[in-house]
Structure 1
């Protein structure tokens, strides 16, 4: 899994921000990385899954995962950035998404389990690439400061439009 755009791998734990670029305060800051994941079919079989990770400062709690598997349009999952961060070092998850680090011979991997209405997918990502992407998002919105970037007024406006429509 290699990013096409984004940061290089950096040393150091998350969410520690020592040595990182100061947080960007631009309202529309976006992080995008094109990656190659693996869908785990069985212990001996996996298939490559081209994917894109997206993060926006306007939606600071969410990382979007667009996966492209033999479909005309990508399948998009909205993932909690906090769950992805936690899953780098320990099993974590909520509802349809769980994330956990690899062990033993797969210690360089992070696994993402996605459950939908009719299907379940287990994806393997390179831990160093996911770590680098999450460090990049931390430069845009440091963990713990998401509420400073969350646009409550826009959210309330959208909810009002749905009620009126």
Structure 2
């Protein structure tokens, strides 16, 4: 994603978080899946990361955090040699994207509608264009965060 063209939409100053509820399919086998409620989230204060909340039968969602660029790259080609890998869906279909979550002893494949992932990424790019993430980092607050200090209240 390093050769991105100039964003078509200028960044929206003061814009907030981006969230997109969606239904994923937990892939059990060819043509067999179980629906899973999920939400993709993006916070401009953490411009390189996206959050994937999986709403299963627990009190709180299971949340995975991975690179926004990984999600964008995975729409068109396989990406992610680590705990999360993303690639175009079954047989390279441009209609879906497979998100594989690797655990200690197993892996889970979740299939997402590529159109919704593109919509989510477009929303994040309106807030923080690709390539400008470093301008949105709070480097002054980093030492306190590393020490475990409480973050300041918004607006203080």
TM-score, normalised relative to structure 1: 0.81
- How far residue 18 of structure 1 moved from its aligned partner, in angstroms, is 5.0
Partner of 1:79: 66
Between stretches 73-82 and 110-119, larger displacement belongs to 110-119
Tell me the SS of whatever aligns to 1:73.
Answer: coil
Unaligned runs of 5+ in 2: 150-156
Partner of 1:38: 25
Partner of 2:112: 125
Alpha-carbon distance in 1 for matches of 2:30, 2:49? 30
**Preserved contact between residue 114 and residue 122 of structure 1 (Cα < 8 Å):** yes
**Preserved contact between residue 34 and residue 53 of structure 1 (Cα < 8 Å):** yes
**Preserved contact between residue 17 and residue 138 of structure 1 (Cα < 8 Å):** no
TM-score, normalised relative to structure 2: 0.85
Partner of 1:23: 11
- How far residue 104 of structure 1 moved from its aligned partner, in angstroms, is 4.7
Matches within 5 A, 1:110-149: 110-149=97-136
Tell me the SS of whatever aligns to 2:129.
Answer: coil
- Is 2:46 the counterpart of 1:59? yes
Alpha-carbon distance in 1 for matches of 2:138, 2:104? 30
- Is 2:80 the counterpart of 1:93? yes
Q: How many matched pairs?
A: 147
- Deviation readout 1:107-147 (Å, 9 max, x if unpaired): 30000001123442100001111011101100100011100
Alpha-carbon distance in 1 for matches of 2:139, 2:81? 23
